[in-house]
Amino acid sequence: KKKMKKSIIILFNLFISCNIFSQNTSQTNIILMIGDGMGLTHISAGMYSLNNNTALESFPFVGLVKTHSHNALVTDSAASGTAFACGEKTLNGTIGINPQNKKIKSILKHSKEKGYKTGIIATSTIVHATPASFYANVLSRNQYEDIALQLSQSDVDFFIGGGRDYFTRRKDKRNLIEEMSSHEFVYSLKKFTESKSNKIGFLTSLGDPVPINQGRKPKLSNAVEEVLSKLSSNQEPFFLVVEGSQIDWGGHKNDINYVISEFKDFDEAIKSAINFSSKNKNTLVIVTSDHETGGLAITGGKIKRFQIKTKFNTIGHSATMVPIFSYGPNSELFSGVYDNTEIFDKMLSTINN
């Protein structure tokens, strides 16, 4: 009988310690997904081309975001990236510095201070304006080598994107890959998966990664799945940024097939994120864009097989609002019509509670 009492006490203690354990993990993970240049028409064009389906249909909350920058109605990716990454509107071309010339702290850095693990995945170079907005503070988005140096000093746990040359073929002759001894560097997604390191960099190309329809590897969905499996392998919550970077580049080229193929790659990655969040309920998934590119319109087509006819109005960006979709805890915060800076505020309130 005494033995039984003892084992009941042990069981009870185990139960209590398990509860404390789960409290630690009740912090909300955030997966923020950005389709660069992805306006509502890009989504519509992609959706029709995917036989009238998109992963975005599973999101319960939708909103609209005002994208203008501090000094321009039509923003660029640096100012808009800074707005949702750091919470302030700034000048076009500037990353992580406000119009008063003050460095501002990104949501990724805030999350790190809260004990979050962090990850960044982009289908452009990792030093391009959108990903850079989460770890760099530079007056010009073109300071790629400075941005690479700031990434090497930022302690982002996992990152996947192009631009190895900015780390190893530099004017200052430094080799940032060697300097980042905290990280293991790998050169394939297979090696990334096999690595036992808790900090990994995967620089996928020397310069800009090629478009997905020219064979870019890895697929964004596969990269997302592997990074999510690393980020969720311990008890800490995580903040992950995923960018479908080249939807914008298709828009600049006024090339609808480029836009659609990049949207498809991004849509599959959204599916992977939703799949993860449906199994890990403490995960908020947000999908949005930094601005629209190309002034795209669907002007005709055929209902049979959802064939579309499209027209671009500019080779630049436009000032139209962009949609935002949310899924998981706190997703209701993201419905409505608001400024891109509020995306930062809503994410900050999520990691603070």
Q: Active site includes 77?
A: yes
Q: Which residues in this chain contact Mg ion in the complex, by CB under 5 A? A: 36, 77, 130, 245
Q: Considering the complex, what minimum distance in angstroms separates the CB of residue 281 from Zn ion?
A: 35
Q: Considering the complex, what minimum distance in angstroms separates the CB of residue 268 from Zn ion?
A: 22
Q: Which residues in this chain contact Zn ion in the complex, by CB under 5 A? A: 248
130 binds, among Mg ion, Zn ion, none (CB under 5 to 8 A by kind): Mg ion
Choose between 248 and 267: whose C-beta lies nearer to Zn ion: 248
Q: Considering the complex, what minimum distance in angstroms separates the CB of residue 37 from Zn ion?
A: 5
Q: Considering the complex, what minimum distance in angstroms separates the CB of residue 293 from Zn ion?
A: 5
Q: Considering the complex, what minimum distance in angstroms separates the CB of residue 347 from Zn ion?
A: 23
88 binds, among Mg ion, Zn ion, none (CB under 5 to 8 A by kind): none
Choose between 93 and 329: whose C-beta lies nearer to Zn ion: 93
Residue 276: CB atoms within 10 A of its CB come to 21
Q: Considering the complex, what minimum distance in angstroms separates the CB of residue 89 from Zn ion?
A: 18
Choose between 16 and 315: whose C-beta lies nearer to Zn ion: 315
Residue 111: CB atoms within 10 A of its CB come to 25
Q: Which of 49, 77, 133, 277 is catalytic?
A: 77
Token pair, residue 343, equals 């995306």
H, E, C per residue of the chain = CHHHHHHHHHHHHHHHHHHHHHHHCCCCEEEEEEECCCCHHHHHHHHHHCCCCCHHHHCCEEEEEECCCCCCCCCCHHHHHHHHHHCCCCCCCCECECCCCCECCCHHHHHHHCCCEEEEEEEEECCCHHHHCCCCCECCCCCHHHHHHHHHCCCCCEEEEECCHHHHCCCCCCCHHHHCCCCEEECCHHHHHHCCCCCEEEECCCCCCCCHHHCCCCCHHHHHHHHHHHHCCCCCCEEEEEEECCHHHHHHCCCHHHHHHHHHHHHHHHHHHHHHHHHCCCEEEEEECCCEECCCEEEEEECHHHEEEEECCCCCEECCCEEEEEECCCHHHHCEEEECHHHHHHHHHHHHC
Choose between 226 and 248: whose C-beta lies nearer to Zn ion: 248
267 binds, among Mg ion, Zn ion, none (CB under 5 to 8 A by kind): none
Query: CA 289, CA 245: separation in Å to the nearest integer?
Result: 10
Choose between 67 and 330: whose C-beta lies nearer to Zn ion: 67
Choose between 248 and 265: whose C-beta lies nearer to Zn ion: 248
| Residue 123: burial class (beta carbons within 10 Å; 0-12, 13-18, 19+) | buried
| Residue 214: burial class (beta carbons within 10 Å; 0-12, 13-18, 19+) | exposed
Residue with structure tokens 């020219």?
A: 214
CB closest to Mg ion, residue no: 130
Choose between 226 and 262: whose C-beta lies nearer to Mg ion: 262
Q: Considering the complex, what minimum distance in angstroms separates the CB of residue 78 from Mg ion?
A: 9
Give catalytic residues, as residue numbers: 77
